[in-house]
Amino acid sequence: MGLAPRNLRSAIAVFMAIEIMVVAMVFGMVLLIFPDPWAVMHLCVISGLVISAPVVGLLLAMLRHQSILQDKLAELATTDMLTGLPNRRAFLRAVAPEGQFVRAGLLVLADADHFKKINDTYGHDVGDACLRAIAGVLRLSLSDKDIVARYGGEEFALFYDGASLSHLEALEREICGPISVGAASEGIASPEGLIVTLSAGAFPIDAGQQSIDAYREADRALYRAKMEGRARLVAARPGSTFLSA
Catalytic amino acids? 154
In this structure, the chain runs to a length of: 245
Please report the DSSP string for 158-186 in residue order. Answer: EEEET--GGGHHHHHHHHSS-EE--GGGG
Beta carbons within 10 angstroms of residue 213's beta carbon: 11
Q: Compute the distance between CA of residue 235 and CA of residue 56 in angstroms, rounded to an integer.
A: 59
- Please give the sequence-ordered ranges of beta strands (E in DSSP) within the chain, or none if there are none: 105-112, 147-152, 155-161, 179-180, 195-196, 198-205, 233-237, 241-244
Nearest-CA neighbor of 238 among 214, 208, 211? 214
- Please give the sequence-ordered ranges of beta strands (E in DSSP) within 120-237, or none if there are none: 147-152, 155-161, 179-180, 195-196, 198-205, 233-237
10 Å CB burial of residue 131 (0-12, 13-18, 19+) is: buried
Nearest-CA neighbor of 16 among 63, 50, 51, 57? 57
Beta carbons within 10 angstroms of residue 6's beta carbon: 13
Yes or no: say if 19 and 50 are a contact pair by the CB < 8 Å rule: no
